[in-house]
Amino acid sequence: MRRRSAVLLVSGVLAVGGILLPSIQQQGSHGDTRILKVVVNGGQPIVLGASGSSPISFQITAEDKSGIRSVDNIGLWSANYGILTPSEATCKATSGTVSVCTGTSSVSVPKRQIYDNMAGSWYVQATAHANDGDKRTEDKAGRFKILKQVTATIYGVTAPVAKGAAFTVDGQLLKPDWRSQQLVANNGTKALLEFCVQPDCTKWKVVGSAKSNGSGNLTETVRAQQTGNYMWVSPATFWSAAATSQPMWVEVNS
């Protein structure tokens, strides 16, 4: 109930500007109408940097035995009062009972359409109307993600290393701060150090790991065995996309 109340509050505030996110409390569902599937951005997360913007496409598939007349009352929302304005949906029948309805929206950091606490899961709310008067409303008809783009770098080795010798690989993780539109340290995040032998690299192997400090810095000590490339990999989280540094060549002398 808390989430729904928050959405209603946002709707009330933004209705003056022509933006309305309906609530399932305001829309009754009846009949055999169903929302079968919702796909946003082709099923891929929307990933934004410090000052990123992105178009958003969505596809809503609905079904009723009498056919689908329209899909409307569409809202794109998240927790913490996140809301984006979609276009009207254009529906095309794919059979006598099923229609696919498409539309667009957009998100922009510079336009202050999204803030740091809105990274993660977003939802699609929609109402499908059938030709016989039936309808179906769902406030979580579909789910998609808007994620932060973490930046990973690697550095530390500039000269050949003797086989068996220990050496240090350094790096840094930065994340976008959407309020300041700057890159800031990504503190306390685990990253994996991976290695691939050259020139016959077929598979990257995890050889170490580190947690970034308050400046986003990473460091790990490994022993030289073979010549090859190293890179830092930051796995995806609920709020960020995965990040991979450029490979760093390390030559090992026998």
Show pLDDT as tens, one digit a residue, over the chain (254 residues). 333 333 333 333 333 233 445 444 445 788 999 999 999 999 999 999 999 999 999 999 999 999 999 999 999 999 899 999 999 999 999 999 999 999 999 999 999 999 999 999 999 999 999 999 999 999 999 999 999 999 999 999 888 999 999 999 999 999 999 999 999 999 999 999 999 998 888 899 999 999 999 999 999 999 999 999 999 999 999 999 999 999 999 999 98
Residues 135 and 192 in one domain: no
Residues 227 and 191 in one domain: yes
pTM: 0.85
63 and 51 co-located in one domain: yes
Last residue of a domain, one of 129, 147, 165: 147
Residue keyed to tokens 């095309």: 92
Q: Which domain holds residue 104?
A: 2-147
The enclosing domain of 117 has a CATH number of 2.60.40.1220
Residue 245 carries which DSSP code?
P
* Residue 45: partners with Cβ closer than 8 Å, 6 or more residues away: 144, 145, 146, 147, 241
For residues 33 and 156, membership in a common domain is answered with: no
> Which token pair is 133?
């008067």
d(CA 57, CA 99) in angstroms, rounded, equals 17
Of 198, 195, 186, which Cα lies nearest the Cα of 242?
A: 186
Number of domains in the chain: 2
- For residue 215, which amino acid is it? S
